[in-house]
Chain A
């Protein structure tokens, strides 16, 4: 498993955790009847900020842990080269395309909620759901392409 593959796997798991957290909180709000603008927007902010922070810290931590593991396994101080080549870039682009397509479909579905007479809060909730789902599908596609070879 290459460095990029490990990094994407960590990102995939962190996005799944964030989506889980978001859905649990959202269902708690719906059940308690507290689906109001203030609480939904604060949840939205928490989810977006945590997605950004988790992405940054997961990448840094993965880098540090992999360097330590590499040093222990090879018993040398020579740094492992975490290079990214043309295949990594192409896989990244394919993953990004899947993310964009998923998010576009999500925005369309969110707009459709208006057609069915749902309040604007539902639209915002659906947009956040699809933004995280898009990241998950993009990461999953990249992991799949890495596992298959390309």
Chain B
């Protein structure tokens, strides 16, 4: 266990959306700030529903927020 294989651009997207705070994003998608922190730290991979809600807040597609890095690629 440790870091998740699902990576994300949440921090970057927050920055490009008027420096949205973690608290603001958490309220918009209906989770706690700790969950946003865990996702940004790539410790937690969200459910598909939450991933769609986050993408919807930023007005982008799911692939622009989340991407999958297979284990063999992360070791390179």
Contacts and interface: CB of A to CB of B under 8 A. Distances in A.
Interface string A97-141: 000000000000000000000000000000000000000000000
Contact of B30 (A5, A83, A148, A149): A83
How big is chain A's contact interface, by range?
10 to 19
Majority secondary structure of chain A interface residues (helix, strand, loop or mixed): helix
B50 interface: yes
A83 B32 contact: yes
B35 interface: yes
Interface residues of B, number: 15
Main secondary structure on chain B at its contact with chain A?
A: loop
A41 interface: no
B11 to A, nearest CB: 15
B32 A86 contact: no
B43 A85 contact: no
Interface of B: 4, 30-35, 37-38, 41, 43-44, 46-47, 50
28 contacts: A2-B32, A4-B32, A5-B34, A83-B30, A83-B31, A83-B32, A85-B32, A85-B35, A86-B31, A86-B35, A86-B47, A87-B31, A87-B32, A87-B35, A87-B44, A88-B32, A88-B35, A146-B34, A148-B43, A149-B37, A149-B38, A149-B41, A149-B43, A149-B44, A150-B4, A150-B38, A150-B43, A150-B44
Please provide the 7 A-B residue pairs with the shortest distance between their CB atoms, ordered closest to farther.
Answer: A149-B43, A85-B31, A150-B44, A149-B38, A87-B35, A150-B43, A2-B34
